[in-house]
Amino acid sequence: MTSIFVDGNPYRFYASATNEKSFLEQKVISQYYAGSLPIKLGDKNKRVLDLGSGTGANTWWLREVFPDHTIIALEPSIGQIDQVDFLDYKIYNSSFEEFDQKNFEFILCSHVLQYINTNPKKFIQKIYDSLVPGGEAWIIQQTQYGLNEIIQQVKPHLKNNLFDDWLLFNDYALLVDNLKLPYETDIMHTSIQGIDYKNPTNAQKKILKFILGGIPYKNLPSEARDALGKLPIQKRIYHPNGIIKIKRPENDSRIISNNI
């Protein structure tokens, strides 16, 4: 886990500014009502895992969409858990690598893979192994557009190594492909308010702080600020996000070792 999540505030602020969380909620709801999720209308007591839940930006709506089911949030950082608003929240303070529960019908793993410090292929295999036969996991990752363009612009001038092995949606889809897991992909056309890169407002500085790995705007090297200033200003920043939907077949009831 990287230090950026020790304090829950930067991510919480970013998550409330993007429309991504509500787009994701709409995707899940529409597939649920279309009958194309493993959890069907009228089902009860199925198991849902919000893997790397952070401050619960997705957990709260998962609980509203699936009130008759068990929603488990898994989050290793106390700094994130401390920022959660609701009290009756079933949360496990653990990394996924150390987590030993399985048999989930639905696993949401949203913007987690780029922050883990273990082998992503083994992590993805463990996600698959944690599904019931017939279960489904959605892995959400940034594409090369939008926020990643900000990172790439600034990266050569940063002194930390947070973005050295920064992978994107396509890279993770390739890993899933290499693992020979059954999957489909989808895209969400999500966006966040534009940023005046030369003279960001305080709110925009907070968004930039999260995007740029937790470095406060005032601490950015001047070359990094100059590089930011070259980016075109738009009213909204479109940052399409990819969904990798891993679907465990009904007839795959193998029990596979979960060691990472």
Ligand X SMILES: C[S@@+](CC[C@H](N)C(=O)[O-])C[C@H]1O[C@@H](n2cnc3c(N)ncnc32)[C@H](O)[C@@H]1O
Q: Binding residues for ligand X, per CB under 6 A?
A: 1, 5, 11, 15, 51-54, 57-58, 74-77, 80, 95-97, 110-112, 115-116
Residue with smaller CB distance to ligand X, 63 or 227:
63
Cβ atoms 147, 248 nearer than 8 A: no
Residue with smaller CB distance to ligand X, 52 or 135:
52
Minimum CB separation of residue 188 from ligand X in Å reads 12
Cβ atoms 23, 57 nearer than 8 A: no
Residue with smaller CB distance to ligand X, 51 or 207:
51
Minimum CB separation of residue 249 from ligand X in Å reads 26
Minimum CB separation of residue 222 from ligand X in Å reads 28
Residue with smaller CB distance to ligand X, 80 or 191:
80
Residue with smaller CB distance to ligand X, 24 or 39:
24
Which element (helix H / strand E) includes 171? helix 169-178
Residue with smaller CB distance to ligand X, 13 or 115:
115
Minimum CB separation of residue 120 from ligand X in Å reads 10
Q: Residue 217 and residue 100: Cα distance in Å, rounded?
A: 39
Minimum CB separation of residue 8 from ligand X in Å reads 8
248-to-65, 236, 251 alpha-carbon distances in Å: 22, 37, 8
Q: Residue 25 and residue 90: Cα distance in Å, rounded?
A: 19
Which element (helix H / strand E) includes 223? helix 222-229
Beta bridge partners of 144: none
Sheet holding 241-247, edge to edge: 91-92, 70-74, 47-51, 104-110, 131-142, 241-247, 183-188
Minimum CB separation of residue 77 from ligand X in Å reads 4
